[in-house]
Structure 1
């Protein structure tokens, strides 16, 4: 992958190694933050816009906790805990990307998780909560908790990690 800044120059760091994976993480982060800012500018808290009736809405929700509003009512300490956790995990992921940059599926998974973790950490640091806006539901009977692009990156990355763990060669399978 080469990113062209102009017709004459490219960014050689992105051609191989860890740079291309960091670029994917940055793309997830940018898409996440841009979408959150757009939704927050267009919606009032709790407002919903039906996109696909009976299935998909856009809404503006705030989550002071973690996934599925875990610890949302914990009194405020969770903001710092989850921010520190996301930043610590992000540093570890960059280390893993440097070590495993040639393993495409694994590095892609780590990149998606990294971009998502940083996207939600930025919300927690600046706002004290995470902005969620994607709402999947069935009719008016069942609602999945609202989520965002960062959450999607983390989930897709986790699924890719599981797939990678099943498809990874063990030392006994490698041919000499």
Structure 2
């Protein structure tokens, strides 16, 4: 197995692991713990509660699906985005990029499954500081997507800087003589 195929396989395994952990945590919160109705909550730590909510929209509750047509439109659009991310991941060569895209893909698949089966995404993680709640209630899939996007952005920014430095160095007068 070539290193490139191995890296892409690792990316696929990570995406499936994120999907599985996301689905398992949603099940664990809603079934055994019984936190499955709006308003139900359980304090875990002074700054972290399990608090059930239904997200009918996408990121930050935008594009809320108020009708069956909108629900299926969101399933279709997010499915297409997941397909694009999959193709992108399979074209990448660098492990860091593959892993970041795998986080996004695994999270997207978890939320797509919820929206397909339930009509909404189950969110339950409530991170707060006293009464101040700087984050919306989220789930493992949301966290994976956010972390993946931040890594993609950071790598794009820093990799461009590094590539620009390498081009400048190789184009500098006398660069060929020093090689």
TM-score (norm 1): 0.83
2:44 alignment partner, SS class: strand
Q: Where does structure 2 lack aligned partners over 5 or more consecutive residues?
A: 171-178
Q: Give 2:23's match in structure 1, choosing from 26, 30, 33.
A: 33
For 1:36-83, what per-residue CA distance to the aligned partner results, in whole angstroms no more than 9, with x for missing partners?
Answer: 111111213121111222x21011111111122223363343322221
With over 3 angstroms needed to count, the CA separation of the structure-2 counterparts of 1:81 and 1:97, relative to structure 1, is same
Q: Give 2:71's match in structure 1, choosing from 73, 76, 79.
A: 79
Q: Give 1:104's match in structure 2, choosing from 87, 95, 103.
A: 95
Provide the residue aligned with 1:23 in structure 2.
13
Q: Give 1:119's match in structure 2, choosing from 98, 101, 110.
A: 110
The Cα of 1:92 is off from its aligned counterpart by: 1.3
With over 3 angstroms needed to count, the CA separation of the structure-2 counterparts of 1:120 and 1:167, relative to structure 1, is same
Provide the residue aligned with 2:43 in structure 1.
50
Q: Where does structure 1 lack aligned partners over 5 or more consecutive residues?
A: 1-11
Provide the residue aligned with 1:88 in structure 2.
80
1:138 alignment partner, SS class: coil
Q: Give 1:146's match in structure 2, choosing from 134, 137, 148.
A: 137
The Cα of 1:172 is off from its aligned counterpart by: 6.6
The Cα of 1:173 is off from its aligned counterpart by: 1.8
The Cα of 1:143 is off from its aligned counterpart by: 5.4
Larger-gyration structure (1/2): 2
With over 3 angstroms needed to count, the CA separation of the structure-2 counterparts of 1:143 and 1:163, relative to structure 1, is closer
The Cα of 1:162 is off from its aligned counterpart by: 1.2
* Two-structure CA RMSD over aligned residues (Å): 2.2
